[in-house]
Amino acid sequence: MSRVRVLILNAALGPLDYSVPDDMDAPPGSIVKVPLGPRQVTGVVWDEGRLEGNPVDASKLRPILGVYDSPPIPETLRRLIEWTADYYLAPLASVLRMSLASTSGYSGEKTITEYRASGGMPERMTPKREQALELIGDSQGIIRELSEIGEVSVGVVRGLVKAGALEPVDVSLDAPFPIPDPAFGPPTLESGQAAASARLVEAVRDREFAPIMLDGVTGSGKTEVYFEAVAEALRMGRQTLVLLPEIALTEPFLTRFTARFGCEPIAWHSGLRQSERRRAWRAIATGEAMVTVGARSSLFLPYPKLGLIIVDEAHESAFKQEEGVMYHARDVAVMRGHFEQFPIVLASATPAIETKQMVEIGRYETVTLPGRYGAAQLPELTAVDMLQDPPPRGSWLAPTVVRAVEETLERKEQSLLFLNRRGYAPLTLCRTCGHRFQCPNCTAWMVEHRLLARLACHHCGHVMPPPAECPECGAEDSLVACGPGVERIADEISALFPDAKTAIVTSDTLWSPAKAGEFVQRMEAGDIDIVIGTQLVTKGYHFPNLTLVGVVDADLGLQGGDLRAAERTFQQIMQVAGRAGRGEKPGRVLIQTHEPSAPVIEALISGDAESFYAAETEARRLAGAPPFGRYAGIVISSEDEKQAFETARIIGQTAPKVDGMMVLGPAPAPLAMLRGRYRQRLLVHARRALDVQSVIRDWIGDRDWPKGVRVSVDVDPYSFL
């Protein structure tokens, strides 16, 4: 009998030793079932000598119970998992979990039983049953999924199964996926595009690590160009992963992909049903899935022969995970390319300063597209000074913008109004006593959602019906909405243009790829004249008849002022501006601002991106901010305010004195309370060359905190709340 060390899928436990029965083969990477006390748990056999653990006496070793009939986790991925855990100071098991994706896809099951409406009615109909059947409609899924769709308990769904109103269906987990055909619909590339794609194709062929920034304005054909690299990977029989920042972008991507390659790629996102997840996981792990498109969580899946990763809209902060393992998918993608020796393409019209700096120092190469494809011209950007050209009282759109919308309507073209705020109004207060509605669990205002008739907290999801009277002073009809959200802008538009067809696009309305698909169809059919949307509509979409973009509040993103505020504002407005005039008709962009002379607004108007980047980069250099220096955030939280405060104080007091490192805080976090937990923050600021992770590990790594206290470390943070 031999001995192996197994990484268990439970972050609280370290790796454990087991014996391998003589008739069993369990090389490193094998996914195994092992005993743990009275339970059986899943783990992965790890390479000898790489994980610390408490060696168990040979006589006390328990044997592995079984090896799953699934490809092992590849060695390079095991190295990536170690690297990620190390760099982001996360438990190895938490990173490994992302690879196995809680799918049980490795279990070897061939089918899964789902349920769907049988067409029959239960003998005994109740209001709950009726509601469930109504909502479930044609959907199919496991019991838990149907209970979610039907908005009823699992018990109600089980009852419907028993009563015969829902019938079982066996879904195969091994059904093959179609294979994309690189020769299906190749485009005719323009010369600049052809040169760019030739370089990407060559990089794929070389099978070497090559981080490449693909830079080109919106509409320059970045997608067409990187599709050629995907085609090359296909011809070589290597897998490709395309990472998108949001799942709403999946749908338009699938359509374009199908036009180019004849079938859809595998989509990986949080909206998949369990059967779809398991089937996709298996196809990925066996190497059958040639192209996967997914959100950041698809990065850690066990592709055995990855040959290319594309990170589309690579500047997006949505690639940074803000809970659990707080990794940045763009940066980890580059590491994966390094471990597995293939190119990574970071595509963006507005690259992150971090990425540009890597090009600057020669670590990344750059491939540039010259301009917009075909006859399409970049739109003209104009600032609308809200002090010179103010909206009437109680409205939010300047007369110039209203006129532009009107002209666009007359020309039968489409407009897009962008405001990065969901709901009707960000704050509700009592006119009589000034009471403001705050979330009971968070340091945040309750946001009014008029369409859903409720107030909601955007941090914890707490909801309440809009009260008829003020809870503080009892005054009736005294509540007023302060400030605009997209719903309020939509109201203003409907009042101005009662015949125009409008659509509100936010994560509330476009929460699934299917919903996004519907929206795209309505836009293409001309069924929408005016879109009012959040950042969700700013990227990816291509609507040739959309010729006007209005930015409702360009100053919004500059408030709060974290280190990337100006950069983010620039990127967001460039992206949304990029939706205008993508076809033959020219586009225009109107930017409402109270500060037309702010450097970021001036850069947008003049189109001088390079000076803006240069100035921002220089400011970062002077401040020692990323990418020239490094930050790490430490958040201490507890339901007990005093305990959070005390722990933070102790952490602050024991901060090591290290040359080139500074510790700021502790202080109450800007989000001083979140989900009922009090939060204290420290910020570590260090020289770039310093191994902050080691310092932090020695400082707080192995300490035991009072029960109920959570200490989380965020390396290279994007959020400073």
Look up residue 315 and give its DSSP letter.
T
Q: Which range, of 184-192, 246-254, 649-657, 670-678, touches ligand ADP by CB under 6 A?
A: 184-192
**Residue 585 engages ligand ADP in binding (rule: CB under 6 A):** no
**Residue 373 engages ligand ADP in binding (rule: CB under 6 A):** yes
Choose between 7 and 577: whose C-beta lies nearer to ligand ADP.
Answer: 577
Min separation Cβ 542 and ligand ADP, Å: 5
Look up residue 249 and give its DSSP letter.
G
User: 3-class SS at 182?
Assistant: coil
Pick what 460 binds: Zn ion, ligand ADP, none; C-beta below 5 to 8 Å, kind-dependent.
Zn ion
Cα-based angle 601, 607, 612 (whole degrees, multiple of 5): 60
Place of tokens 């019906």: 465
**Residue 647 engages ligand ADP in binding (rule: CB under 6 A):** no
Place of tokens 């109450």: 668
**CA 356 and chain centroid, separation:** 22
List the interface residues with ligand ADP, window 532-561 (CB under 6 A): 542
**Residue among 42, 84, 103, 193 that touches ligand ADP (CB under 6 A):** 193
Q: How many residues lie near ligand ADP (CB under 6 A)?
A: 15
Q: Which range, of 211-219, 413-421, 619-627, 712-720, touches ligand ADP by CB under 6 A?
A: 211-219
What are the E-state strand segments in 315-426?
Answer: 343-348, 365-368, 380-385, 414-418
**Residue 460 engages Zn ion in binding (rule: CB under 5 A):** yes
Min separation Cβ 537 and ligand ADP, Å: 14
> Using an 8 Å Cβ cutoff, are 641 and 678 in contact?
yes
Q: How many H helices and E strands in the chain?
A: 19, 29
List the interface residues with ligand ADP, window 215-254 (CB under 6 A): 216, 218-224
Min separation Cβ 236 and ligand ADP, Å: 23
Pick what 218 binds: Zn ion, ligand ADP, none; C-beta below 5 to 8 Å, kind-dependent.
ligand ADP
Choose between 256 and 435: whose C-beta lies nearer to Zn ion.
Answer: 435
List the interface residues with Zn ion, window 419-448 (CB under 5 A): 439, 441-442
d(CA 225, CA 237): 19
Choose between 220 and 298: whose C-beta lies nearer to ligand ADP.
Answer: 220
> Using an 8 Å Cβ cutoff, are 122 and 160 in contact?
yes
> Using an 8 Å Cβ cutoff, are 315 and 181 in contact?
no
Choose between 97 and 372: whose C-beta lies nearer to ligand ADP.
Answer: 372
d(CA 399, CA 402): 5
Q: Which range, of 125-133, 214-222, 436-444, 546-554, touches ligand ADP by CB under 6 A?
A: 214-222
Residue nearest to ligand ADP (CB): 221
Which two three-digit tokens encode residue 302?
A: 């066990």
Min separation Cβ 669 and Zn ion, Å: 14
d(CA 226, CA 206): 16
Choose between 218 and 545: whose C-beta lies nearer to ligand ADP.
Answer: 218
> Using an 8 Å Cβ cutoff, are 11 and 23 in contact?
no
Pick what 457 binds: Zn ion, ligand ADP, none; C-beta below 5 to 8 Å, kind-dependent.
Zn ion
> Using an 8 Å Cβ cutoff, are 51 and 8 in contact?
no
Instruction: Spell out the SS3 assignment of 376-393.
Output: CCCCEEEEEECCCCCCCC
Pick what 116 binds: Zn ion, ligand ADP, none; C-beta below 5 to 8 Å, kind-dependent.
none
Pick what 221 binds: Zn ion, ligand ADP, none; C-beta below 5 to 8 Å, kind-dependent.
ligand ADP
Min separation Cβ 618 and ligand ADP, Å: 28
d(CA 588, CA 416): 11
d(CA 674, CA 444): 9
Q: Which residues bind Zn ion (CB under 5 A)?
A: 439, 441-442, 457, 459-460, 462
